[in-house]
Amino acid sequence: MVKDSEGIRRAAHSFFKDLYSALEGPPIDSQACPIDLIPHCVQDFYNIMLTAPISMNEIKEALDCMDLDKASGPDGFTARFYLTC
Protein backbone atom coordinates (compact mmCIF):
# COMPACT_ATOMS: atom_id res chain seq x y z
CA MET A 1 0.00 0.00 0.00
CA VAL A 2 1.38 3.40 -0.99
CA LYS A 3 0.53 6.41 1.17
CA ASP A 4 3.04 9.16 0.42
CA SER A 5 2.76 11.55 -2.57
CA GLU A 6 5.99 10.42 -4.21
CA GLY A 7 5.01 6.75 -3.93
CA ILE A 8 1.58 7.46 -5.42
CA ARG A 9 3.19 9.37 -8.28
CA ARG A 10 5.59 6.50 -9.02
CA ALA A 11 2.80 3.88 -8.80
CA ALA A 12 0.57 5.87 -11.16
CA HIS A 13 3.44 6.45 -13.59
CA SER A 14 4.35 2.77 -13.57
CA PHE A 15 0.73 1.66 -14.02
CA PHE A 16 0.05 3.89 -17.03
CA LYS A 17 3.46 3.24 -18.57
CA ASP A 18 2.71 -0.51 -18.50
CA LEU A 19 -0.85 0.04 -19.70
CA TYR A 20 0.10 2.10 -22.76
CA SER A 21 3.41 0.42 -23.67
CA ALA A 22 3.64 -1.93 -26.64
CA LEU A 23 3.74 -5.61 -25.85
CA GLU A 24 6.97 -7.47 -26.44
CA GLY A 25 6.92 -9.24 -29.77
CA PRO A 26 8.03 -9.00 -33.36
CA PRO A 27 8.35 -5.40 -34.54
CA ILE A 28 5.66 -4.03 -36.83
CA ASP A 29 6.82 -3.34 -40.37
CA SER A 30 6.61 0.44 -40.74
CA GLN A 31 6.35 0.06 -44.53
CA ALA A 32 3.33 -2.27 -44.35
CA CYS A 33 -0.10 -0.96 -45.20
CA PRO A 34 -2.05 -0.54 -41.94
CA ILE A 35 -5.08 -2.30 -43.43
CA ASP A 36 -2.95 -5.44 -43.76
CA LEU A 37 -2.54 -5.48 -39.97
CA ILE A 38 -6.29 -5.83 -39.40
CA PRO A 39 -7.51 -9.44 -39.31
CA HIS A 40 -9.87 -10.47 -42.12
CA CYS A 41 -13.35 -11.20 -40.77
CA VAL A 42 -15.28 -11.45 -44.05
CA GLN A 43 -14.70 -14.49 -46.23
CA ASP A 44 -13.49 -13.81 -49.77
CA PHE A 45 -16.72 -15.16 -51.31
CA TYR A 46 -18.87 -12.65 -49.38
CA ASN A 47 -16.40 -9.83 -49.91
CA ILE A 48 -16.62 -10.30 -53.69
CA MET A 49 -20.43 -10.21 -53.51
CA LEU A 50 -20.44 -7.11 -51.27
CA THR A 51 -18.04 -5.15 -53.46
CA ALA A 52 -19.50 -6.16 -56.83
CA PRO A 53 -21.07 -3.41 -58.95
CA ILE A 54 -24.82 -2.98 -58.44
CA SER A 55 -26.91 -4.01 -61.44
CA MET A 56 -29.95 -2.13 -62.73
CA ASN A 57 -31.98 -5.27 -62.01
CA GLU A 58 -31.00 -5.12 -58.31
CA ILE A 59 -32.06 -1.46 -58.17
CA LYS A 60 -35.39 -2.30 -59.82
CA GLU A 61 -35.99 -5.16 -57.36
CA ALA A 62 -35.27 -2.87 -54.40
CA LEU A 63 -37.62 -0.18 -55.74
CA ASP A 64 -40.36 -2.78 -56.29
CA CYS A 65 -40.14 -3.71 -52.58
CA MET A 66 -40.63 -0.10 -51.46
CA ASP A 67 -43.90 1.73 -50.82
CA LEU A 68 -44.23 3.91 -53.94
CA ASP A 69 -45.42 7.01 -52.08
CA LYS A 70 -43.05 7.04 -49.09
CA ALA A 71 -39.66 8.70 -49.09
CA SER A 72 -36.81 6.40 -48.08
CA GLY A 73 -34.57 9.26 -47.02
CA PRO A 74 -34.46 12.92 -46.07
CA ASP A 75 -34.36 14.11 -49.70
CA GLY A 76 -38.12 13.48 -50.00
CA PHE A 77 -37.90 11.50 -53.24
CA THR A 78 -40.26 8.52 -53.29
CA ALA A 79 -39.80 5.19 -55.03
CA ARG A 80 -42.31 6.37 -57.65
CA PHE A 81 -39.87 9.19 -58.58
CA TYR A 82 -37.04 6.74 -59.20
CA LEU A 83 -39.26 4.33 -61.19
CA THR A 84 -40.08 7.10 -63.64
CA CYS A 85 -36.42 7.95 -64.29
**What is the tens place of the pLDDT at every residue in 5-14?**
999 999 999 9
pLDDT for the residue 30 = 67
DSSP output for 45-83: HHHHHHHSPPPHHHHHHHHHHS-TTSBSSTT--BHHHHH
pTM across the whole model = 0.41
On the question of pLDDT at 53 being above 90, the answer is yes
For the stretch 16-42, pLDDT in tens is: 988 888 777 777 666 767 777 777 888
pLDDT for the residue 12 = 92
